[in-house]
Copies of this chain bind each other. A is one copy, B any other.
C-alpha cells in the first residue's frame, strides 16, 4: 500500500498548536541560546555544550537548512548565520517553515522577553489566540493590591475580564505544588485565610509567587467556573518540578470532581507519563493530552514518544502542541518532529495493510488540527 498520500497529507497539514509561547523578541548569544535549549535553569557547565543533545543535534540538522546552511552545520556556523540574518528574519523563516497555521499562545511566563499575541501574528502571518495562565492572574491581583478578604471576588472579576477573548486557561499547579493536592474546592473563607498569609509574605519578601495549595486549588476551581478548557502542565519541565508529583494519574480524583461541570481538561506534555495520560484520556470523556515539549527534547527519539501517545486514547482525545518558548527553533522543531514521528509511526501500519491509508490521514488531521478546533471552539478556516 502506497503511503505517498499519507506523507503528503502530514507534510501539508496546517497545524493548530494548542499550547505554545511567544518567540524571542531580542537577539541572543550562544550562551543564551544554549540555556533556552534545555529545561535546566542552571548555567551550562564549561565542559559541555547543550548542542551535544538531542535537541541540539536537531537544531543543527533541521533548522540550519532553513537558515540557508548545510544540515549538521557546526554550532559556531549556526550562531554566526543566525546573527547575520537577524532575529526578525530567523523568526520569520522558522515560523513560516513550520506549517503551524494557528497558535494558541500562553503568555504568562516571562512575557517581557517574548512576542505577544500581536507580535506572533505579525511574525508568523498566522492566526493567534490567547490562553490565560491562572496563576499569573492571581499574582497580578496580589501585585495590584488587595485585601485578603476581597481576593476571591477580585480574582474572579479579573479572570472574567482577562479571559473575555481567551480560548482557554492554563494551570501550573504541577510546578508550584504538585498534583497530589486535595481535589476539593476550597471555600472563600479558606481562600481568604490563605491569602492573608500569602499577601503578608509577598509584602515581606517583595516576591509575588503563589505556591500555597489552597490558593492554587482556588485558581483551578475558579477556572472550572469560568467554563473554558483548562490546560494543565504535566510531567517534564524545569527543576522547579518534582517530577514524580507531576504524574497525571495523581489528578484522578480532581478529574472526577470536574466531570459534572462540563469543562475539558488538557494534559500538556506528560513525558515520561504519556501512557498514563492516554489511560486518563480513554476513561474520562473530558480529558485530552499532548506530548509537546517532550517531542522537542527527545529529538530523534521523539518518534518513540509520539508512538507511545497512540495507545489507549481514542484518536479524538490527542492533540498537537510544540510548547515552544523563546527560540523559534523550538516552534519549528515541535511541528517538524511531530510530523516526522506521526509519519514514522503510521506509515508502516499502512504499508503492512493493517491500517487503511484514509484512516491514517484522518487520524493525523484529527490530532494535528481538528481536535483542537473542536475543543477550543475555533472557527474553521482563516
Residues of B contacting A308 in the complex (Cβ-Cβ under 8 angstroms): 301, 304
Residues of B contacting A315 in the complex (Cβ-Cβ under 8 angstroms): 52-53
Asked whether A311 and B282 contact (CB < 8 A) given A250-B244, A356-B72, the answer is no
In the complex, A300→B366 CA distance in Å?
18
Asked whether A297 and B282 contact (CB < 8 A) given A52-B314, A252-B243, A316-B52, the answer is yes
Residue of B nearest to A44 (CB): B285
The yes or no answer to A197 lying at the interface (CB within 8 A) is: no
The yes or no answer to A284 lying at the interface (CB within 8 A) is: yes
- Quick check: B366 and A61 within 8 Å, CB to CB? no
Residue of B nearest to A357 (CB): B72
Q: How many residues of A contact B (CB 8 A)?
A: 66
Asked whether A283 and B38 contact (CB < 8 A) given A57-B359, A276-B243, the answer is yes
- Oligomer: number of copies: 3
For residues 248 through 289 of chain A, which have their beta carbon under 8 Å from a beta carbon of chain B? 249-250, 252-253, 256, 271-272, 275-276, 279, 282-285
> Smallest distance from the beta carbon of A63 to chain B beta carbons, Å?
13
Residue of B nearest to A312 (CB): B297
In the complex, A371→B342 CA distance in Å?
34
Asked whether A40 and B285 contact (CB < 8 A) given A72-B359, A250-B244, the answer is yes
Binds B, one of A8-16, A22-30, A347-355: A347-355
The yes or no answer to A363 lying at the interface (CB within 8 A) is: yes
Binds B, one of A135-143, A217-225, A234-242, A327-335: A234-242
- Quick check: B38 and A236 within 8 Å, CB to CB? no
- Quick check: B314 and A374 within 8 Å, CB to CB? no
- Quick check: B283 and A239 within 8 Å, CB to CB? yes
The yes or no answer to A33 lying at the interface (CB within 8 A) is: no
In the complex, which of the residues B38, B242, B311, B359 contacts A301, with contact meaning CB atoms closer than 8 Å? Answer: B311
Asked whether A314 and B243 contact (CB < 8 A) given A39-B283, A40-B285, A57-B359, the answer is no
The yes or no answer to A7 lying at the interface (CB within 8 A) is: no
Task: Identify 16 residue pairs between A and B in the complex whose beta-carbon atoms are under 8 Å apart, listed by A's number.
Answer: A40-B282, A40-B283, A40-B285, A42-B284, A48-B316, A52-B315, A52-B366, A53-B315, A54-B312, A72-B356, A238-B283, A242-B249, A244-B249, A271-B275, A298-B312, A304-B307
